[in-house]
Amino acid sequence: SAVISQKPSRDICQRGTSLTIQCQVDSQVTMMFWYRQQPGQSLTLIATANQGSEATYESGFVIDKFPISRPNLTFSTLTVSNMSPEDSSIYLCSVEDLWGVGEMNTEAFFGQGTRLTVV
Amino acid sequence: AQSVTQLDSHVSVSEGTPVLLRCNYSSSYSPSLFWYVQHPNKGLQLLLKYTSAATLVKGINGFEAEFKKSETSFHLTKPSAHMSDAAEYFCVVRIINFNKFYFGSGTKLNVKP
């Protein structure tokens, strides 16, 4: 299993500013994911971050708004840039951990999330 | 295309009665299927997972799910609801050929005393 620490756990930010969220994993993982969970909604994948390569963004998300760093196999950051109230959400870091043999043997682990409020 | 449909956005049951949370998936490939639970202001916790072994999967806290390929379903059940089961439940699909997890829209479970 993987234990994920996410910082900050919550923040209130002024519109137009940026916030960087950190995700630290207690083991080396290949794939890290960043999700957004808007109030009362499900999780939406923002991007997949692999170490040593550019993050892959999902439709509707762009690097200028959500730049991601992945400097090593245990750490990643997500920045929410030029924030507006519509960015108020919970942002979650997730990793995929392989267990046993075969690609079917996989599981996602999640951080506690960062609750962002933009005022 | 891959997708996950949770058929009920809200389910309300009385304590001690059975729970059924429905999930259907669409995939061109063999899926891994998961149920996660999210309690208020808490992180996501894995309840159970299906990965092509037994079709009936047992998870934590008395929950079970059965994978039915012919119906493309993975419904979550529990024989007797407890007040502590009140939470939001997400059905999740992982497709081998795609490096991502697809989340359903979630089902909020309310348990009445």
Q: Tens of pLDDT along A31-89? A: 899 999 998 888 999 999 988 788 999 999 999 999 999 999 999 999 999 999 999 99
Considering only the beta carbons, identify the residue of B32, B43, B96 that sits closest to A113: B43
pLDDT score of B36 more than 70: yes
CA distance B41 to chain A (A): 9
Contact of B42 with chain A, judged by CB distance below 8 Å, is answered with: yes
pLDDT score of A103 more than 70: no
A57-66, A92-101, B2-11, B45-54: lowest mean pLDDT where? A92-101
- What percentage of chain A carries pLDDT values higher than 90? 71
Give the chain A residue nearest B30 (alpha carbons).
Answer: A104
Report the candidate in A81, A91, A88, A97 with the shortest Cα–Cα distance to residue A111.
A91
Considering only the beta carbons, identify the residue of B36, B92, B99 that sits closest to A31: B99
C-alpha distances out from residue B112 to A68, A72, B7, B14, B17, Å = 43, 47, 21, 5, 10
CA distance B37 to chain A (A): 11
Mean per-residue pLDDT over chain A, rounded: 90
Count of alpha carbons within 13 Å of A87, Cβ hemisphere only?
A: 23
pLDDT at A99: 57
- Long-range residue pairs from A34-37, CB within 8 A, at least 24 positions apart, any chain: A34/A66, A34/A68, A34/A76, A34/A78, A34/A91, A34/A92, A34/A93, A34/A94, A35/A91, A35/A92, A35/A93, A35/A94, A36/A89, A36/A90, A36/A91, A36/A92, A37/A89, A37/A90, A37/A91, A37/A92, A37/A113
Contact of A90 with chain B, judged by CB distance below 8 Å, is answered with: no
Cα first-last separation, chain A: 37
A37-41, A103-107, B40-44, B69-73: lowest mean pLDDT where? A103-107
The CA distance from B29 to B25, in Å, is 11
Mean per-residue pLDDT over chain B, rounded: 90
Once rounded to an integer, what is the mean pLDDT over residues A92-119? Answer: 80
Which pLDDT tens digit goes with each residue over B69-101?
Answer: 899 999 999 999 999 999 999 999 987 666 788
pLDDT at B68: 92
Say whether B43 and A108 touch across the interface (CB within 8 A): no
The CA distance from B26 to B3, in Å, is 5
CA distance B95 to chain A (A): 8
Q: Are B25 and B72 in contact (CB under 8 A)?
A: yes
